[in-house]
Amino acid sequence: MKVFVALVAGYFVGASAGSRDYDQLLDSVRAIRDSEEFHDFLAALRSHASATLRELADMLERTGAEGLQATDLVDRVKALAVRG
Protein backbone atom coordinates (compact mmCIF):
# COMPACT_ATOMS: atom_id res chain seq x y z
CA MET A 1 0.00 0.00 0.00
CA LYS A 2 2.85 2.39 0.84
CA VAL A 3 4.41 1.78 -2.57
CA PHE A 4 1.14 2.62 -4.28
CA VAL A 5 0.79 5.86 -2.30
CA ALA A 6 4.39 6.78 -3.16
CA LEU A 7 3.77 6.11 -6.86
CA VAL A 8 0.61 8.23 -6.88
CA ALA A 9 2.35 11.06 -5.02
CA GLY A 10 5.29 10.87 -7.42
CA TYR A 11 2.95 10.99 -10.38
CA PHE A 12 1.21 14.14 -9.13
CA VAL A 13 4.47 15.85 -8.20
CA GLY A 14 5.91 14.97 -11.60
CA ALA A 15 2.80 16.12 -13.42
CA SER A 16 2.81 19.45 -11.64
CA ALA A 17 6.52 19.99 -12.29
CA GLY A 18 6.08 19.91 -16.05
CA SER A 19 8.27 18.58 -18.81
CA ARG A 20 11.00 21.21 -18.36
CA ASP A 21 11.81 19.99 -14.86
CA TYR A 22 11.61 16.38 -16.04
CA ASP A 23 14.13 17.14 -18.80
CA GLN A 24 16.42 18.78 -16.24
CA LEU A 25 16.17 15.69 -14.08
CA LEU A 26 17.05 13.42 -17.01
CA ASP A 27 20.01 15.64 -17.91
CA SER A 28 21.25 15.43 -14.32
CA VAL A 29 20.92 11.64 -14.26
CA ARG A 30 22.82 11.39 -17.56
CA ALA A 31 25.56 13.67 -16.24
CA ILE A 32 25.96 11.53 -13.14
CA ARG A 33 25.90 8.30 -15.15
CA ASP A 34 28.57 9.60 -17.54
CA SER A 35 30.85 11.03 -14.84
CA GLU A 36 34.25 9.57 -14.08
CA GLU A 37 33.40 9.39 -10.38
CA PHE A 38 30.38 7.19 -11.07
CA HIS A 39 32.49 4.85 -13.22
CA ASP A 40 35.10 4.69 -10.45
CA PHE A 41 32.34 3.91 -7.95
CA LEU A 42 31.07 1.06 -10.13
CA ALA A 43 34.60 -0.33 -10.53
CA ALA A 44 35.10 -0.26 -6.75
CA LEU A 45 31.72 -1.89 -6.20
CA ARG A 46 32.53 -4.68 -8.66
CA SER A 47 35.93 -5.22 -7.07
CA HIS A 48 34.42 -5.41 -3.59
CA ALA A 49 31.71 -7.83 -4.73
CA SER A 50 34.30 -9.99 -6.45
CA ALA A 51 36.50 -10.13 -3.34
CA THR A 52 33.49 -10.94 -1.15
CA LEU A 53 32.38 -13.75 -3.45
CA ARG A 54 35.94 -15.11 -3.55
CA GLU A 55 36.05 -15.17 0.27
CA LEU A 56 32.67 -16.88 0.39
CA ALA A 57 33.84 -19.49 -2.11
CA ASP A 58 36.95 -20.13 0.00
CA MET A 59 34.81 -20.52 3.13
CA LEU A 60 32.51 -22.94 1.35
CA GLU A 61 35.50 -24.88 0.05
CA ARG A 62 37.00 -25.20 3.55
CA THR A 63 33.74 -26.20 5.20
CA GLY A 64 32.98 -28.68 2.44
CA ALA A 65 35.96 -30.72 3.60
CA GLU A 66 34.55 -30.82 7.13
CA GLY A 67 31.49 -32.77 6.06
CA LEU A 68 28.94 -30.09 5.23
CA GLN A 69 26.45 -32.09 3.16
CA ALA A 70 24.26 -29.33 1.69
CA THR A 71 24.58 -29.15 -2.08
CA ASP A 72 22.52 -26.01 -2.60
CA LEU A 73 24.61 -22.84 -2.27
CA VAL A 74 21.94 -21.07 -0.22
CA ASP A 75 21.72 -24.00 2.18
CA ARG A 76 25.50 -24.06 2.55
CA VAL A 77 25.62 -20.34 3.32
CA LYS A 78 22.80 -20.72 5.85
CA ALA A 79 24.69 -23.58 7.49
CA LEU A 80 27.80 -21.42 7.70
CA ALA A 81 25.83 -18.59 9.29
CA VAL A 82 24.39 -20.94 11.90
CA ARG A 83 27.84 -22.37 12.68
CA GLY A 84 29.19 -18.85 12.75
Alpha helices in the chain (DSSP H): 2-33, 36-64, 73-83
pLDDT (0 to 100) of residue 64 = 60
Does 2 map to a domain?
Answer: yes
Does 44 map to a domain?
Answer: no
Instruction: Mark whether 29 and 53 lie in a shared domain.
Output: no
- 63-83 residue pLDDT tens: 664 555 556 677 777 777 776
- 32-66 residue pLDDT tens: 999 999 999 999 999 999 998 888 878 777 766 45
**Overall average pLDDT of the 10-22 stretch:** 72
**Could you say which DSSP state residue 34 is in?**
T
Range of the domain at 17: 1-34
Instruction: Mark whether 53 and 84 lie in a shared domain.
Output: yes
Does 41 map to a domain?
Answer: no
Q: Which of 81, 78, 59 is nearest to 70 (CA)?
A: 78
**Could you say which DSSP state residue 69 is in?**
-
Instruction: Mark whether 28 and 57 lie in a shared domain.
Output: no
